[in-house]
Amino acid sequence: MKKLLIIFSFTVMQCMYGQDTVSIKKSPEEVSSGKNPLDVGELKINLNAKGDKWLKFGISSQIWLRSIDNNPGTLVNGVPQEQTYDASIRRMRLIIQSQVTPFYSVFLQMGINNQSFISGGGTGTGNNGAGKKAPFFFHDAYNEFAIIPRNDFQTGKPNKNNLYLGAGLHSWNGVSRLTNASTTKMLAGDIPVFNFPMIEIADQFSRQLGIFVHGELDRINYRFSVNKPFATSLKPAIGGAAVDNNQSGKLSYAGYAFYQFFNKETTVTSFLPGNNLATKKILNLGAGFYTNKEATQSQPSENVFESHDVNIVGADVYTELPVGDKSKEMGLTLYSVFYNYNYGPNYLRISGLLNPGTPNADFMGQKALEGAGNNRVLMGTGNIWFSQMGFVLPKFSKILKVQPFFNYALKDMKALNQSGSYYDIGANFYLYGQNARIVAQYSSRPLYDLTSKTIFDRKGEFLLSFQIVL
C-alpha cells in the first residue's frame, strides 16, 4: 500500500510542476471554437471536401495497480495470501467509426480486457506463466442507417427529431444510463458492473446481437432493441436457485429513454458519459427495461424443471451543475439509479474484477459465501440502489483538475438475509481535460457467512488507475 501511495504522489507532483515539458497543439478552428485548447483533438480523416464522409479512430487504455484484501481462505498462485498486490490491463481499446455516406455508417470496437499477472490469458498460460497473451476480440460491430438524420442532408440545419436504425453486435442497451455507460468518461475508478444485467452470461461484454433504433423526439432521447441472447445451458440443482438456461431460444427486448431538461446530449454512439467535469448544465430523468422469456431455470424437485422470465427495470436521474465563478471551473456531478431485478427464485451472481484468488480447500476458518479473492455479491433477484457524487475543485492549475467522488450501493437480494452496503471513495486527477486521468480509490465490500447468509466481515481494496483516451 505504501509503495502505491509513493508512486501516486510522485506522479501527481510531476503533473503539477512539470507543466512546461508537455505541449499539445490545436488547429485554429478548434481554438476559436471555445473548446479547451489543452484537449486533444479527434483522430479523424475526412473523405470529401464537405466533411460528411469520414473515417474516425479512437484509442483508450486503462492500467490498474491494486492492493487487495482477500476474502478468507484465498490462494493466489497456489499460496495462501491475505493481501495481494497486482498490476493489470483493465481495458485496452481501438475504435474505428466510418460514415461512408451521409446515410449510413459502420462502428467497430476491438480490444482486450482484464489481463493481470494470473488471469485474462489466452495461449501461453500454465507453467510457462499464467495470464499471458490475452485474447483480442470485437466488442462492437454494427451498421447504422440514418432514417431521419440529426442534421438535414441538404441544408445542414439540425432536425428537431431524429431516428437511426442499426444491426449487429451492439451496446444500445436498455434499463438505465449506467447500462449504456461510457468507460472513458466514468466518474469513479470503474463502473459497478451490476449495471449490466446479463454481463458475460447472455451477452458478450454487455453486447448482444440484434437490431436497434435510437434517436430523439424533441427533448426525449431514446433507444430500443430486439436481440438474440447468447446461449446459456446451466443445469439447476435440485431444490436450488434459478440458473442461466435460455435453451428455449426466446428473443430479448430492451429499451431506455430519458428527458433532457437543460442542455441536450448528442448520442452518436451508444455510450453515455457519467462525467463531463460539470462543464454544462444537465438534468436528465430516465427509465428503462430488459426482458427475456424463459431465460433461467430451476429444479424444484428431481427431474421437474421450471423456466423463469428475466425482467429488469431501472429508473435514474443524472445531473451536472457548474457552480460559482465560471473562471474557477467548479462543478457538481450527481447520478442515482434504482434497479429491480427478477431472474427467478433466489438467483444470485457472485464475481470479482480481475480476481487473483482461488479457494483454499485446507482453510478451516469462517468461510465467505462469496468465495476467494475479491469476490463480492454482484447482483441477483432483488433490488439495488446506487448513487454517486463528484465535485470539481476550484481551478488552481492550467494542467491539472481535481475531482473527489463517492459511490454508494445498497443491495437487497432475496437469496440473502441481510442487505449489504458497498462504497468507493476517491479522487480523479485530470490532465489536459479528460484525455488523461489518474484515479486513487478505496473500496469496501461486505462478506456474507456461508450458512447464515448475514454479514460477518468487510474487506477493502485500494486502486490506482492510469487512463489515456485519444
Q: Which sequence spans correspond to the domains of the chain?
A: 2-469
pLDDT, one tens digit per residue, over 331-352 is 999 999 999 999 999 999 999 9
Q: What is the mean pLDDT of residues 142-162?
A: 91
Half-sphere exposure of 154 (CA within 13 A, CB side): 0
CA distance 257 to 259: 7
Query: For the chain, what percent of residues have pLDDT higher than 90?
Result: 82
Q: Return phi, psi of residue 70, to 5°.
A: -75, 155
CB 112 within 8 A of CB 120: yes
pLDDT at 424 over 70: yes
CB 319 within 8 A of CB 278: no
CB 194 within 8 A of CB 378: yes
Q: What distances in angstroms separate CA 103 from CA 98, 402, 426, one per listed residue?
A: 11, 41, 44
CA distance 207 to 467: 23
CB 390 within 8 A of CB 356: no
CA distance 80 to 87: 19
pLDDT at position 20, please?
Answer: 36
pLDDT at position 100, please?
Answer: 85
pLDDT at position 121, please?
Answer: 80
* Average pLDDT of the chain, as a whole number: 91
pLDDT at 12 over 70: no
pLDDT at position 25, please?
Answer: 36
Residue corresponding to grid cell 470479482:
352
Rg (CA), the chain: 23
Regarding the domain delimited by 2-469, which CATH topology (the fold level of the hierarchy) does it fall under?
Porin (2.40.160)
pLDDT, one tens digit per residue, over 31-88 is 333 344 445 567 899 998 888 889 999 999 999 999 999 999 999 999 999 999 999 9
Q: What is the mean pLDDT of residues 251-262?
A: 98
Q: What distances in angstroms separate CA 337 from CA 282, 288, 365, one per listed residue?
A: 16, 11, 37
pLDDT, one tens digit per residue, over 262-281 is 999 989 999 999 999 999 99
- 47 contacts: CB under 8 Å, gap ≥ 6: 53, 54, 55
